Homo-oligomer: A and B are copies of this chain.
Amino acid sequence: MTRGRPPAHTLERVIEAAIAVADADGLAAVTMRRIAGEIGAGAMSLYTYVPDKDRLVDAMVDRVGADVPAITPTGDWQGDLLAICRAQRASMLAHPWLPGALAARRITGRHMVAYLEQGLAALAPTRLDGSTKLEVIALLTGFVANFVANELAGPPTEEQVALIGEAVLSGDYPHLAAALAEGGSRVPTFDAIALRMIRGLADPVLWPGPDIL
């Protein structure tokens, strides 16, 4: 049947190794040599399975999409969208390189298509038109990625603290000084923000302007 030398590795194995490296040491550590070494192959052997590094990262993004649990629509479209956002967030927290990779990339791969389908299914009761639904999904995805990226960024740099402190002391930024002094009694939860975003974006009843989004 299949002629020629049989492959010693698999595409799946390459992608999984790349994801493991990214999870452990960040996306910058994902180099062809490193991945190849991780699976006991030569660097150039990877090009048997992947046309170039960019496609490898595409495949990584699509691969983690496979592990995100599917949300089947319940009819409560707000709840369904929130569940989708939560699942996305969980995936990004498990793979901290994901928000960054997603930011510089477009929809690719089967799982991404499934993700779109899932969002559209959840949005079905809203009666928004097709392109608006897609726009809403894109905006929500971007929101989650942005939120998680901020979450993962951790505390500000010493340098940033110095910059802000200097700004406050200068007296030229009274609102900033006030905001920092006041602080926040309660840290806003992801769910609360996401729900506001969902309602604000997708509810045509609550916001029936001349522009229906």
Chain A 119-146 interface mask (CB, 8 Å, partner B; 1/0):
0110010000111111100110011011
How many identical subunits does the complex contain? 2
B residues within 8 A CB of A142? 142-143, 146-147, 150
In the complex, what's the smallest C-beta–C-beta distance from A5 to chain B, in angstroms?
29
* With A116-B176, A129-B185, A193-B139 as contacts: A103 and B106 at CB distance below 8 Å: no
Is A21 positioned at the interface, with any CB of B under 8 Å from its CB?
no
- Does A130 lie within 8 Å of B211, measured CB to CB? no
Residue A201 CB within 8 A of the other chain: yes
Q: Kindly state the interface size class of chain A when it binds its partner.
A: 35 or more
Across the interface, which residues of B come within 8 angstroms of A192, CB to CB? 209, 211, 213
Residues of A that sit less than 8 Å from B by CB: 100, 103-104, 106-110, 113-114, 116-117, 120-121, 124, 129-135, 138-139, 142-143, 145-147, 149-150, 153, 156-157, 159-160, 163-164, 167, 172-176, 178-189, 191-193, 195-197, 199-201, 207, 209, 211-213
